[in-house]
């Protein structure tokens, strides 16, 4: 039986990944500061611990596991990442976790290590036109991410790549583009656009008004969690190391996203544009490389995941207010 560690197993992507690995027959050790918020973990063993502390990392990586998935870090949507207030925390905490994990994993001899990087590493100057952003993997340099979150991700990509070169550890890196789905953060300040809009639309009456940060013309693509995990597992089972985009190429404006969700909810809404953190003007995944290397790309439309996510959030809102 293959053994895997999932760091960040109490978080959105990590808790779903644990379920997937269990279905595939892995023995799984999860680690996080907290248990998953919206359901029981399916990990065989779950360590509550702070991965900034090397002694905790030593408890977690105590033998040469077959696979390690590094998803732990400081994460949030525009309201968390673009205000500037959390920058020191983001850079310090996430970098420490990555430095600890890559060093121990290479010393103990973890066979394969997955690192979750982000579309936020791509340079601002290629994301000024909302209709034509360029996020091909090869465009990452000269680097100019628009957030410290993006800079930390790029720095950590480089740490992992350096260890891969120096110590021959097998590292796989994916750059996620806006992953969403059920059991993700939808309230509290760290939620991202799809979850925040689902919550706002769940709360508004038919014919009501919702607030959107910025002019609503900024574009993004959003990938449903099941597709993301399929991409991650395909990458882990391949000979290709990345960094590679895991995202959708179905780009929409934030206004369009809101109207799609309202349609699913069966509500007519109007949008009130207010000032707020926005990030780059346009961003879309470029799936040329993943298709070439893994012969795979996501296959479901945005509506499929939005439908599942909206009704889950709608239910949570009804239960919890
Ligand atoms: P999440 O916040 O739900 O999960 C991250 C988990 O890391 C949390 O459960 C948190 O408690 C844990 N964590 C934070 N600090 C820790 C510490 N010191 N010790 C132990 N655990 C700690 O976020 P997510 O959406 O599941 O994202 C997972 C990974 O994917 C993150 O690294 C994120 O940067 C990356 N990513 C996510 C997206 C997305 O759209 N969700 C996009 C790009 C990249």
pLDDT (tens, 9 = 90+) of the chain, 321 residues, equals 999 999 999 999 999 999 999 999 999 999 999 999 999 999 999 999 999 999 999 999 999 999 999 999 999 877 888 888 999 999 999 999 999 999 999 999 999 999 999 999 999 999 999 999 999 999 999 999 999 999 999 999 999 999 999 999 999 999 999 999 999 999 988 899 999 999 999 999 999 999 999 999 999 999 999 999 999 999 999 999 999 999 999 999 999 999 999 999 999 999 999 998 888 999 999 999 999 999 999 999 999 999 999 999 999 999 986
CATH 3.90.25.10 given to domain 186-221+250-286+301-320: yes
CA 69 – ligand 1 centroid, Å: 11
Q: Which residue shows structure tokens 């696979």?
A: 67
| Residues in a beta bridge with 176 | 118, 246
Distance (Å, whole) CA 311 – CA 317: 10
Residues constituting the chain: 321
Q: Which atom of ligand 1 is nearest to the CA of 190?
A: 2
Q: Which atom of ligand 1 is nearest to the CA of 73?
A: 14
Identify the residue whose C-alpha is closest to ligand 1 atom 9: 11
Helix (H) or strand (E) holding 302: helix 302-320
Where do the domains of the chain lie? Answer: 3-179+222-246, 186-221+250-286+301-320
Displacement of CA 90 from its chain's centroid (Å): 15
Residue of 265, 89, 297 whose CA lies nearest to 177: 297
Query: Do β-strands 252-253 and 219-220 pair in parallel, antiparallel, or remain unpaired?
Result: antiparallel
Phi-psi region of 83 (alpha: psi -120 to 50; beta: other; left: phi over 0): alpha
CA 250 – ligand 1 centroid, Å: 24
Any ligand 1 atom below 6 A from CB of 100: no
CATH architecture of residue range(s) 3-179+222-246: 3-Layer(aba) Sandwich (3.40)
Any ligand 1 atom below 6 A from CB of 150: no
Q: Is 149 a catalytic residue?
A: yes
Residues 262 and 307: beta-carbon distance below 8 Å: no
Which residue in the list 149, 160, 163, 224 is annotated as catalytic?
149
Distance (Å, whole) CA 197 – CA 186: 9
Q: List Cβ neighbours of 135 (8 Å cut-off, separation of 6 or more).
A: 119, 122, 126, 127, 177, 245, 247, 283, 284, 285, 286
Whole-angstrom CA distances from 47 to 39, 58, 61, 75, 285 are 16, 12, 11, 20, 34
**Whole-prediction pTM value?**
0.97
| Residues in a beta bridge with 282 | 219
Compute how many other C-beta atoms are within 10 angstroms of the C-beta atom of residue 273: 14
**Encoding tokens for residue 305?**
């995941």
């Amino acid at each position: 039986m293959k053994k895997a560690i999932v760091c960040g197993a109490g978080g959105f992507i990590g808790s779903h990944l644990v379920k997937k690995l269990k279905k595939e027959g892995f023995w799984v050790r999860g680690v996080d500061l907290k248990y998953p918020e919206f359901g029981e973990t399916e990990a065989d063993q779950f360590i509550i611990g702070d991965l900034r502390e090397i002694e905790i990392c030593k408890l977690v990586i105590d033998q040469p596991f077959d696979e390690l998935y590094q998803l732990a870090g400081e994460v949030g949507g525009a309201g968390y990442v673009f205000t500037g207030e959390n920058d020191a925390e983001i850079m310090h905490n996430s970098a420490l976790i990555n430095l600890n994990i890559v060093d121990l994993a290479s010393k103990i001899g973890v066979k394969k290590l997955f690192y979750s990087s982000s579309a936020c590493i791509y340079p601002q100057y290629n994301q000024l036109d909302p209709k034509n952003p360029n996020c091909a993997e090869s465009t990452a340099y000269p680097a100019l991410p628009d957030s410290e979150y993006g800079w930390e991700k790029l720095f950590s990509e480089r740490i992992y790549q350096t260890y891969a070169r120096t110590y021959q550890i097998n590292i796989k890196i994916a750059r996620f583009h806006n992953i969403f789905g059920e059991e993700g953060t939808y309230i509290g300040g760290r939620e991202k656009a799809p979850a925040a809009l689902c919550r706002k639309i769940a709360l508004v009456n038919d014919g009501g008004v919702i607030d959107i940060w910025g002019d609503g013309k900024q574009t993004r693509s959003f990938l449903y969690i099941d597709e993301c995990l399929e991409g991650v597992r395909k990458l882990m089972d391949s000979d290709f190391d990345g960094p590679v985009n895991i995202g959708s190429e179905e780009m929409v404006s934030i206004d369009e996203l809101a109207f799609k969700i309202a349609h699913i909810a069966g509500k007519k809404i109007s949008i009130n544009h207010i000032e707020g953190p926005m990030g780059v003007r346009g961003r879309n995944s470029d799936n040329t490389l993943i298709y070439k290397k893994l012969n795979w790309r996501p296959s479901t439309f945005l509506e499929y995941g939005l439908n599942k996510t909206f009704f889950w959030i709608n239910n949570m809102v009804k239960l919890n207010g």
